Structures are given as structure tokens and as C-alpha cells.
């Protein structure tokens, strides 16, 4: 895959520091990174909160380089004519922060103090923070919260103070409306979306060092998907757009494969056949007349018919966790050598046996789409540890299965068996509902049938599915959004348009927490 713009990386604190260090070692003065971070942040604040020009800003500066960024922001806002005051929580302890303060002071001298600031800048702590916030900072965190309660917009520099950039851990922390991330997104941003608010990743002049090849995942965006998913040609017919067989829908669970089919049909599939429990065949046929419906391919004859017809098999939605499921999935994986997507019960029946499943999958293009509990079952771990270590667990599972893994969640982590890892951070809490995974499975199976590329299909499907969730919510509310709306929003999501942003902005993510 090649994208015109360098993809944004999702880093740990150490990986972020390594990028700064690499740029500095290659000749970029460290102060120039800080200056660029602070000036870009000031411009972003002026662009996002117009009232800052009249009502002004108060900047809370810690003693490290994050505080140094804060001093640069304060100076720039003052030079732009905004009333600005600084709360110096600790004196600068680094050379760059000392210089930033010295350069800001002349601009701040004799400047009007904001009485009811429109903006509070949190420059207490950034990637250098370790452990829980020390007590001395708590009154300042409270002061920031009180000013927010009075109507100010809280802008966090690099990340909200109190959140660990690597693990997302942290109890008391700043709650931001906008987080201005520098150079890279940090894992902590994507694990703590409620506290970050809208996230804007700014270019601070790391250049090619931002893409240091140290395993830090890339962030999937619209440009990635545009590159990975081919356009549908003018003369396309259902064979070109590919045929998808979906095996699922046990007794009382006809809805799951139907949702998968609807995800597929809103993602450019040519034809879908649903293979369900015999009693569900008439239900499916009546509900989705544009698909074909048949009973589970248990006999050799039924299998032949399906396997000669399909380009890809999706196994699992609503299949049921039974001995029959295990036998059927095993049999199909032996008889069918082509691309497969396994979800839900098709994974659950291999509890604790990832190697066995891996040997059935062989070297074919394959994708599995577990949520953390399903991944935990496969690996016989506890669900909480899978969520906490989602970046490592996805990669481990991909290696054991020899398949691409979409570990669903906030954020979704996509891992290939060859070690590539990407993150999709599109989405909305509206997606956290029964049936959502079935829709995703239908999208990803369609893309796999069309491209044959599991990793690109997995990344693209995860992003588009999340984007549909964002669109559906932006047109209404989280509570009022049903899966119906999300399936419908795929129509818009597939336009793959991106918000137009300023050149200094590398990527943006909307605020998704605390949204009604």
C-alpha cells in the first residue's frame, strides 16, 4: 500500500521520544520542535475557539517540556492580541522550557489578564509523566475543571495531564475538549477518548522521522482506504463485484447473518448467499429478497454447490456454539481452500485451540474478527488483560493463527501474521451494540472477496464501519442511533471524504465521549 501522505503513527511515550530524538540527531534543534509545537498549537486554538481573541486564555505550565510548549502557546496568543495569563505550577526545569519562558515573557508583560477566559490550556504534563498525578498538581486540575464548568474550552497540549501516554492509565486527570497531539498520536489518546475530546494531531517538524520503523502501528484513515479498495468499474456486474457465502443463523439467530449480508450489500458486494438453519431459510428469504438463502451445507452435495459458487466464505454470525458448529466449520475449512472470514461462534468453538484453528486456515487469505472476550477465549486468557494489552494480544493471535486479526474495541487493532499492525480509531459508542460485529464481518468479507488482501481489507473495513457510526451519530444522537442507521450511513461513509484541514494538521478525530 502506498499513500500520498505519510500515515500517522500511534506511539508509546518512548516511541514518541525516540522520534523527537531521531529528528534532533539528524540536525533539527530540539527547541525548534518545541517552538513549532507551541506555535502550531496556538494557531489551532485561534482557529477552533474564535472567542479567545477577546476573552483570552489562561495557560497552566508544568516544569518539563510540556510546560515549555505552554509558554510558547502563551507568548503566541499574546502576540496575536489575546488576553493571556500563565499559572506557573513549576519553574522550567529543562533548557528548552527555560528558553520558551524567556521568549514569552516580553509578549506577556503588561498584557491584560483574562477575566472570563474562553480557553484553558493544560500544559502541566505530557509524555514525560510517570505514575499517578502528584498531589501538588491536583488543585490545578481542579482549577482547570472549574474554569471549564464556567464555560471555557479546555485545550490539552500533547495529552490531558494525568493520562499515561503509553497505557492510558490514570485516575484523576484533566478533562479536555480538544487535545492537540504533537507529531504522533499516543496510545493513551485512543484508550481515553472521553478525556481527550476532539483530537488534532499537529505536525511539529519531525519530517520522515515521524515514520520511524519501530513497529509503532499506523493509523488507518480515509486516504488509506481510498488506496486499498479499488473503485467499482463502469461495466461491473455481480461476478466482478464478487459472490459471498455467509454461514450462520442458528435457531433464533437469523438476524446475525442478515446484518452481515446488509453490511456486505452496502459495501459493494455482487451477490450474497445466506446458509442458515433449515428453519430460518424462509425467514431470511422473506426479509432479504435480494439475497439467496439455503440450508447449512452439511451434505457433500450442498457443499459442492456453495463452494463452486462463492468467492469468499464468512463463517460464524449467529451460528451457535455447538458441536455441530465445530464440525461444520472444520469441514468447510477442509473442503474450501479460498479466502475466509471467521467471526463469533466460528471462533468460540476453537476455545483454547488457536494452533488447531491456524492449521485449518493454512496459508490462505484469512481474517478473524474477535472482540476482546472472543480473543480471550481463543487464547485462554482473561478478557480484561486482552483489553489492557490489545496492541500486543492482536499481534500474538495473528502469529498463532497465521491470519489477520481485527481485535475490535476502542481502538480497534488490526494485526497481520507478518508483524504489521494498524489501528482504526474511527467510531462511536453507537457501534457498541448487538449486531454491530455482524455488519463489520459482512463488510470485511466483501473486501476480502474483492481484493484478496486480508490486511488491507481488515484495515479498510474497520475504518469504514467506524466512520459509518460517526456519520450516523453526527446526524442524530448516540442514544437514538440504531444499527439500521449505521448500515444506512455506510452509503455516505464509502464516499471516503476527509475533513479538509490546515497543512499543519496531520489528522483529526472527533470527540466521541460524553456525546448524547
- Binds 30: which of ligand NAX, K ion, none (CB < 5-8 Å by kind): ligand NAX
- Nearest CB to ligand NAX, comparing residues 125 and 260: 125
Q: Which three cell numbers stand for residue 411?
A: 481502538
Residues 421, 423, 428, CA angle at the centre, nearest 5°? 160
- Nearest CB to K ion, comparing residues 20 and 343: 20
Each residue 122-151 as x (binds K ion by CB under 5 A) or -, in order, gives: x-----------------------------
Contact 24, 176 (CB under 8 A): no
The sign of the CA dihedral 36, 40, 41, 43 is: positive
Q: Determine, following the binding rule CB under 5 A, whether residue 446 of this chain makes contact with K ion.
A: no
| Residue 308: partners with Cβ closer than 8 Å, 6 or more residues away | none
Residue 468 backbone phi and psi in degrees, to 5:
-60, -35
| Residue 248: partners with Cβ closer than 8 Å, 6 or more residues away | 256, 257, 260, 274, 275, 276, 314, 315, 316, 317, 318, 319, 344, 345
Nearest-approach distance from CB 176 to K ion, in angstroms: 8
Nearest-approach distance from CB 200 to K ion, in angstroms: 14
- Binds 122: which of ligand NAX, K ion, none (CB < 5-8 Å by kind): K ion
Q: Determine, following the binding rule CB under 5 A, whether residue 161 of this chain makes contact with K ion.
A: yes
Candidates 103-111, 157-165, 379-387, 448-456; binding stretch for K ion (CB under 5 A) = 157-165
Nearest-approach distance from CB 93 to K ion, in angstroms: 16
E-state strands within 190-311: 198-202, 218-219, 243-247, 271-276, 292-295
Q: Which three cell numbers stand for residue 159?
A: 495529552
| β-strand pairing of 243-247 with 271-276 | parallel
Q: Which three cell numbers stand for residue 43?
A: 494557531
- Nearest CB to ligand NAX, comparing residues 171 and 231: 171
CA gyration radius, the chain: 25
How many Å apart are CA 35 and CA 20, to the nearest integer?
A: 13
Q: Determine, following the binding rule CB under 5 A, whether residue 157 of this chain makes contact with K ion.
A: yes
Which spans of this chain sit near ligand NAX (rule: CB under 6 A)? 17, 20, 30, 33-34, 37, 62-69, 93-94, 125-134, 137, 157-158, 182, 204
- Nearest CB to K ion, comparing residues 41 and 156: 156
- Nearest CB to ligand NAX, comparing residues 76 and 158: 158
Q: Which three cell numbers stand for residue 198?
A: 476532539
- Binds 268: which of K ion, ligand NAX, none (CB < 5-8 Å by kind): none
- Nearest CB to ligand NAX, comparing residues 182 and 336: 182
Residue 11 backbone phi and psi in degrees, to 5:
-115, 160
Q: Which three cell numbers stand for residue 403?
A: 491470519
Nearest-approach distance from CB 215 to ligand NAX, in angstroms: 20
- Binds 411: which of ligand NAX, K ion, none (CB < 5-8 Å by kind): none
Nearest-approach distance from CB 410 to ligand NAX, in angstroms: 22
Nearest-approach distance from CB 123 to K ion, in angstroms: 6
Nearest-approach distance from CB 180 to ligand NAX, in angstroms: 9
- Nearest CB to ligand NAX, comparing residues 132 and 283: 132
Binding-site residues for K(+) sit at 66, 122, 161
Binding-site residues for AMP sit at 408-412, 437
Q: How many CA atoms lie within 13 A of 260 on its CB side?
A: 36
Query: Where on the chain is the footprint of K ion (CB under 5 A)?
Result: 122, 156-157, 161
Amino acid at each position: 500500500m502506498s499513500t500520498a501522505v505519510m500515515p500517522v503513527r500511534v506511539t508509546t511515550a518512548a516511541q514518541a521520544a525516540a522520534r523527537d530524538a531521531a529528528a534532533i540527531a539528524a540536525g533539527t534543534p530540539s527547541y525548534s520542535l518545541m517552538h513549532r509545537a507551541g506555535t502550531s498549537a496556538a494557531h489551532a486554538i485561534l482557529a477552533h475557539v474564535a472567542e479567545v481573541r477577546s476573552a483570552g486564555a489562561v495557560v497552566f505550565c508544568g516544569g518539563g517540556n510540556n510546560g515549555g510548549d505552554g509558554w510558547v502557546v502563551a507568548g503566541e496568543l499574546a502576540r496575536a492580541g489575546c488576553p493571556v495569563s500563565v499559572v506557573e505550577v513549576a519553574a522550567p526545569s529543562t533548557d528548552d522550557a527555560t528558553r520558551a519562558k524567556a521568549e514569552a515573557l516580553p509578549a506577556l508583560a503588561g498584557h491584560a489578564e483574562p477575566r472570563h477566559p474562553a480557553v484553558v490550556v493544560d500544559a502541566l504534563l505530557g509524555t514525560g509523566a510517570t505514575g499517578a498525578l502528584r498531589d501538588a498538581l491536583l488543585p490545578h486540575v481542579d482549577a482547570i475543571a472549574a474554569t471549564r464548568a464556567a464555560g471555557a474550552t479546555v485545550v490539552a497540549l500533547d495529552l490531558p495531564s494525568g493520562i499515561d501516554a503509553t497505557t492510558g492509565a490514570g485516575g484523576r486527570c484533566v478533562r479536555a475538549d480538544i487535545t492537540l497531539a504533537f507529531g504522533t498520536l499516543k496510545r493513551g489518546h485512543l484508550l481515553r477518548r472521553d478525556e481527550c475530546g476532539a483530537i488534532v494531531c499537529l505536525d511539529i517538524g519531525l519530517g520522515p522521522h515521524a515514520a520511524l520503523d519501530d513497529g509503532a502501528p499506523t493509523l488507518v484513515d480515509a486516504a488509506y482506504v481510498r488506496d486499498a479498495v479499488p473503485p467499482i468499474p463502469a461495466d461491473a456486474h455481480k461476478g466482478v463485484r464478487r459472490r459471498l457465502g455467509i454461514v450462520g443463523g442458528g435457531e433464533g439467530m437469523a438476524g446475525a447473518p442478515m446484518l452481515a449480508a446488509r453490511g456486505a450489500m452496502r459495501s459493494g458486494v455482487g451477490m450474497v448467499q445466506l446458509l442458515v438453519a433449515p428453519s430460518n431459510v424462509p425467514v431470511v428469504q422473506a426479509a432479504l429478497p435480494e439475497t439467496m438463502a439455503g440450508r447449512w451445507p452439511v451434505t457433500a452435495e450442498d457443499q459442492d454447490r456453495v463452494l463452486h459458487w462463492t468467492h469468499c466464505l464468512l463463517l460464524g454470525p449467529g451460528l451457535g456454539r455447538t458441536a455441530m458448529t465445530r464440525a461444520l466449520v472444520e469441514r468447510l475449512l477442509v473442503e474450501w481452500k479460498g479466502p475466509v472470514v471467521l467471526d463469533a461462534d466460528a471462533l468460540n468453538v476453537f476455545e483454547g485451540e488457536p494452533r488447531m484453528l491456524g492449521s485449518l486456515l493454512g496459508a490462505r487469505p484469512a481474517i478473524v474478527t474477535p472482540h476482546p472476550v472472543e480473543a480471550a477465549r481463543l487464547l485462554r486468557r482473561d478478557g480484561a488483560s486482552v483489553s489492557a494489552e490489545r496492541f500486543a494480544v492482536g499481534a500474538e493471535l495473528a502469529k498463532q493463527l497465521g491470519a489477520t486479526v481485527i481485535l475490535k474495541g476502542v481502538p480497534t487493532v488490526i494485526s497481520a501474521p507478518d508483524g504489521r499492525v494498524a489501528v482504526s480509531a474511527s467510531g462511536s459508542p453507537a457501534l457498541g451494540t448487538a449486531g454491530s460485529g455482524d455488519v463489520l464481518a459482512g463488510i470485511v468479507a466483501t473486501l476480502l472477496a474483492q481484493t484478496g488482501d486480508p490486511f488491507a481489507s481488515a484495515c479498510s473495513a474497520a475504518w469504514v464501519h467506524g466512520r459509518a457510526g460517526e456519520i450516523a451519530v453526527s446526524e442524530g444522537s448516540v442514544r437514538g442511533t440504531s444499527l439500521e442507521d449505521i448500515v444506512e450511513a455506510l452509503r455516505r461513509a464509502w464516499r471516503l471524504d476527509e475533513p479538509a484541514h490546515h497543512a499543519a494538521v496531520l489528522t483529526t478525530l472527533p470527540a466521541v465521549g460524553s456525546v448524547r
